[in-house]
């Protein structure tokens, strides 16, 4: 049952129809405690609709969204009380100061103390800007105010729609590091939708891919992916001084699959398992072929994404 | 209840922290001041009693029109403003039902109407005392009656504005349609008076002064009780529509 307790957000056959069009179709997935999950999909796949249904901004045609076991449909207040969210760009009352804006949300949730507000503001680095009107804020500052707003009530899940939109590289990195920190330290689950694949790749521990409103693929990425027992095949690029001879050594070995050779760079791409590679390198040394580099060829998330979604329209 | 007060405080602050908030009060201050200055300098010898003066400042056919317009303009953006700013998304993902949030907005609307009316009364009283001294006939009861008539009229119109704000999600459209309604209402009364069904129309029942002593109801068979019933029915319909639409709406 510990599995069940760890699940913070659960979507069960969530469907949204508008007229005859099905925007989201029987979508199911889960987000567990401490996990950062990326929601990926081409344009119009239904990412934003899904996120809006999770936070109750849009009603669903059928299905169920549970947050800590509470239904967003039948017990909205209880379910949403544990959610912090930014839906698209965080919009504020621009004629008020940052602090006044946060006070608005504090009045709506009685448990938030002024100390907690100050603490969150400090964490996002906006302490000096609190008395300035939001209209004078940069986009990055607004994003951070958005994060502060979403974290004030110590939610168990943070839902972010395009969180790095409009941030500069430093801001993106800061945001990413920050999300990782709160996911690890406070055990907050994070669901992020983004169209920046590289960003998702660096930030998330798992991705859920949807297309035309349907679940397509689910994949662990980054550190979580290295749980291999040495039995998995991978591609590797080997740079040597004598390409032809190195290639000859491959002949007749089934465990070493030749992929391609690049004569300009003297590189050889092969596909094999851990042990086979080690043996091959011994072999190369025995034949006095110098090995300059051995690099694993990783398929980027973008490549994989295109395979999952059939390669049509990139997000 | 406490949480509802907090929500209403929020709504009030959203109104009050706007830069142009004081303008309504400035206009309400300048109007009686202007009247007093004109009367004092051009109509010499005219003495105004404070009851008469206060009534003229808030009467439906007097300064009350200005008061009505101000209330309408200030409350037009209550709901549509949130849509236009995009803040509606952050507002609706809090642990409060949509009905409660909309109710707090309506409460803020009523508070604004009351505050502005009280301000008008106080200011006109002071100005009258300063310019003409404490005199004149009539009692405060007459003033309160006028307050009541103006309030009924204003609450009905601002409720319509509130509904339009929910329906159109656009402050501009709301103000436009609402001002049209105000101007059309007189014309409608004029044109439709010959039809029997007209007495059930909202416009025919808005001005309760017609049931005063010496007043003539717009149509035969209309009584104070009848008008109050009609107004209540309209108010319920207006609010029911607003709440239903706001509750069901997909916020995109």
- What's the mean pLDDT in A82-99? 91
Chain A nearest CA to B160, separation (Å): 25
Name every chain B residue with its beta carbon within 8 A of the beta carbon of A91.
85-87, 89-90
- Give the pLDDT band of residue B90 (cuts 50, 70, 90): very high
CA distances A204 to A5, A44, A155, Å, are 21, 22, 19
- Give the pLDDT band of residue A315 (cuts 50, 70, 90): very low
Structure confidence at residue B211 (pLDDT):
86
pLDDT above 60: residue A207: yes
Query: Does the distance separating the beta carbons of A58 and B251 come in below 8 Å?
Result: yes
Judged by a CB distance cut-off of 8 A, whether residue B245 touches chain A is no
Report ipTM (2 d.p.): 0.87
Per-residue pLDDT reduced to its tens digit, B186-198? 888 888 888 888 8
Q: Which of A25-39, A174-188, A273-287, B86-100 has the lowest mean pLDDT?
A: A174-188
Query: Does the distance separating the beta carbons of A76 and B7 come in below 8 Å?
Result: no
Judged by a CB distance cut-off of 8 A, whether residue A81 touches chain B is yes
Judged by a CB distance cut-off of 8 A, whether residue A95 touches chain B is yes
Nearest to B17 among A56, A83, A100 (CB): A100
Best residue in A17, A53, A54, A57 for a mutation probing chain B (most B CBs within 10 Å): A57
Name the residue with higher pLDDT: A65 or A162: A65
Structure confidence at residue A3 (pLDDT):
56
Q: For chain A, give the percent of residues with pLDDT over 90.
A: 40
How many interchain CB pairs under 8 A, A with B? Answer: 80
Best residue in B93, B94, B103, B105 for a mutation probing chain A (most A CBs within 10 Å): B93
Name the residue with higher pLDDT: A83 or B194: A83
Q: Which of A258-272, B15-29, B87-101, B160-174 has the lowest mean pLDDT?
A: A258-272
Name every chain A residue with its beta carbon within 8 A of the beta carbon of B90.
86-87, 90-92, 105, 149
Listed by start position, the domains of chain A span 2-225, 234-296
Residue A149 near residue B93, CB atoms below 8 Å: no
Judged by a CB distance cut-off of 8 A, whether residue B247 touches chain A is no
Q: Which of A42-56, A69-83, A158-172, B8-22 has the lowest mean pLDDT?
A: A158-172
Query: What integer best gives the mean pLDDT of chain A?
Result: 86
- Give the pLDDT band of residue A16 (cuts 50, 70, 90): very high
- Give the pLDDT band of residue A167 (cuts 50, 70, 90): confident
Name every chain B residue with its beta carbon within 8 A of the beta carbon of A96.
13-14, 17
Query: Does the distance separating the beta carbons of B86 and A89 come in below 8 Å?
Result: yes
Judged by a CB distance cut-off of 8 A, whether residue A19 touches chain B is no
- What's the mean pLDDT in B133-159? 88
Per-residue pLDDT reduced to its tens digit, B200-246? 888 888 888 888 877 788 777 788 899 999 999 999 999 999 999 99
Name the residue with higher pLDDT: A92 or A273: A92
Name the residue with higher pLDDT: A306 or A66: A66
Judged by a CB distance cut-off of 8 A, whether residue B99 touches chain A is no
CATH superfamily of the A234-296 domain: B family DNA polymerase, N domain, alpha/beta motif (3.30.70.2250)
Structure confidence at residue A197 (pLDDT):
80
pLDDT above 50: residue A314: no
Q: Looking only at Cα atoms, what is the longest distance across chain B?
A: 63
Q: For chain A, give the percent of residues with pLDDT over 70.
A: 94
Listed by start position, the domains of chain B span 2-193
Query: Does the distance separating the beta carbons of B87 and A58 come in below 8 Å?
Result: no
**Whether domain A2-225 has CATH 3.40.50.300:** yes
Phi, psi of B15 (to 5 degrees): -75, -50
Structure confidence at residue A162 (pLDDT):
80
User: Cα(B248)–Cα(A134) distance, rounded to whole angstroms?
Assistant: 31
Residue among B238, B82, B81 nearest B172 (CA) = B81
Query: Does the distance separating the beta carbons of A149 and B17 come in below 8 Å?
Result: no
- Got the DSSP string for chain A? -HHHHHEEEEEEEEEEEETTEEEEEEEEEEEETT-EEEEE-STTSSHHHHHHHHTTSS--SEEEEEETTEETTTSHHHHHTTEEEE-SS----TTSBHHHHHHHHHHHSTT--HHHHHHHHHHTT-GGGTTSBGGG--HHHHHHHHHHHHHTT--SEEEEESTTTT--HHHHHHHHHHHHHHHHHS--EEEEE-S-HHHHHHH-SEEEEEETTEEEEEEE-GGGG----S-S-EEEEEEES-HHHHHHTTTT-TTSEEEEEETTTTEEEEEE-HHHHHHHHHHHHHTT--EEEEEE-PPPHHHHHHHHTTT-S--
Query: Does the distance separating the beta carbons of A89 and B89 come in below 8 Å?
Result: no
Judged by a CB distance cut-off of 8 A, whether residue A87 touches chain B is yes
Nearest to B87 among A52, A57, A93 (CB): A93
Q: Which of A253-257, B41-45, B193-197 has the lowest mean pLDDT?
A: B41-45
Judged by a CB distance cut-off of 8 A, whether residue A136 touches chain B is no
Residue A315 near residue A215, CB atoms below 8 Å: no
- What's the mean pLDDT in A177-183? 84
User: Cα(B226)–Cα(B210) distance, rounded to whole angstroms?
Assistant: 13
Query: What integer best gives the mean pLDDT of chain B?
Result: 90
pLDDT above 60: residue A228: no
Query: Does the distance separating the beta carbons of A107 and B10 come in below 8 Å?
Result: yes
């Amino acid at each position: 049952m510990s599995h069940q307790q760890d699940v913070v957000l659960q979507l069960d056959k969530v469907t949204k129809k508008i007229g005859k069009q099905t925007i989201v179709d029987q979508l199911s997935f889960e987000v567990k405690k401490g996990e950062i999950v990326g929601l990926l999909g081409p344009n119009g796949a239904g990412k934003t609709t899904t996120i809006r249904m999770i936070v109750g901004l849009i009603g669903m045609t059928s299905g169920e969204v549970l947050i800590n076991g509470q239904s967003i449909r039948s017990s909205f207040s209880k379910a949403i009380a544990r959610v912090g969210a930014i839906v698209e760009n965080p919009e504020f009352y621009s004629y008020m100061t940052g602090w006044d804006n946060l006070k608005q949300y504090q009045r709506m949730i009685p448990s938030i103390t002024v100390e907690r507000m100050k603490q969150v503001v400090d964490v996002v680095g906006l302490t000096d800007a609190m008395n300035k009107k939001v209209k004078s804020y940069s986009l990055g500052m607004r994003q951070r105010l958005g994060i502060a707003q979403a974290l004030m009530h110590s939610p168990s899940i943070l839902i972010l729609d395009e969180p790095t939109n409009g941030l500069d590289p430093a801001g993106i990195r800061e945001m990413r590091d920050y999300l990782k920190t709160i996911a690890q330290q406070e055990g907050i689950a994070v669901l992020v939708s983004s169209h920046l694949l590289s960003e998702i790749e660096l930030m998330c521990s798992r991705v859920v891919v949807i297309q035309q409103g349907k679940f397509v693929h689910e994949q662990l990425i980054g550190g979580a992916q290295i749980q291999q027992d040495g039995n998995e095949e991978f591609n590797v690029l080997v740079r040597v001084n004598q390409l032809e001879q190195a290639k000859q050594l491959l002949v007749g070995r089934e465990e070493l699959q030749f992929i391609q050779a690049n004569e300009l760079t003297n590189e050889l791409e092969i596909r094999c398992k851990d042990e086979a590679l080690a043996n091959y390198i011994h072999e190369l040394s025995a034949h006095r072929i110098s090995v300059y580099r051995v690099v694993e060829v990783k398929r980027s998330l973008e490549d994989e994404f295109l395979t999952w979604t059939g390669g049509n329209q990139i997000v | 209840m406490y949480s509802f007060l907090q929500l209403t405080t929020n709504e009030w602050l959203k109104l009050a922290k706007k830069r142009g908030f004081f303008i309504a009060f400035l206009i309400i201050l300048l109007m009686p001041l202007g009247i007093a200055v004109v009367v004092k300098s051009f109509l010499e010898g005219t003495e105004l009693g404070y009851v008469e003066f206060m009534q003229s400042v808030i009467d439906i056919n007097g300064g009350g029109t200005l008061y009505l317009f101000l209330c309408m303009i200030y409350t037009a953006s209550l709901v549509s403003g949130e849509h236009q700013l995009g803040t509606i998304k952050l507002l609706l993902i809090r642990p409060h039902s949509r009905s409660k949030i909309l109710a707090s907005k309506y409460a803020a609307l009523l508070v604004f109407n009351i505050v502005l009316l009280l301000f008008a009364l106080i200011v006109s009283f002071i100005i009258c005392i300063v310019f003409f001294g404490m005199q004149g006939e009539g009692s405060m009861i007459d003033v309160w009656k006028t307050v009541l008539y103006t309030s009924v009229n204003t609450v009905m119109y601002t409720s319509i504005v509130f509904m339009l704000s929910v329906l159109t999600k656009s402050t501009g459209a709301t103000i436009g349609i609402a001002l049209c309604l105000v101007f059309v209402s007189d014309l409608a009364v004029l044109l439709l008076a010959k039809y029997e069904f007209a007495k059930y129309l909202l416009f025919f029942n808005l001005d309760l002064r017609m049931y005063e002593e010496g007043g003539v109801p717009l149509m035969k068979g209309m009584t104070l009780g009848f008008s109050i019933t009609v107004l209540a029915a309209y108010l319920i319909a207006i609010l029911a529509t607003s709440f239903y639409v706001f509750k069901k709406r997909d916020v995109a």
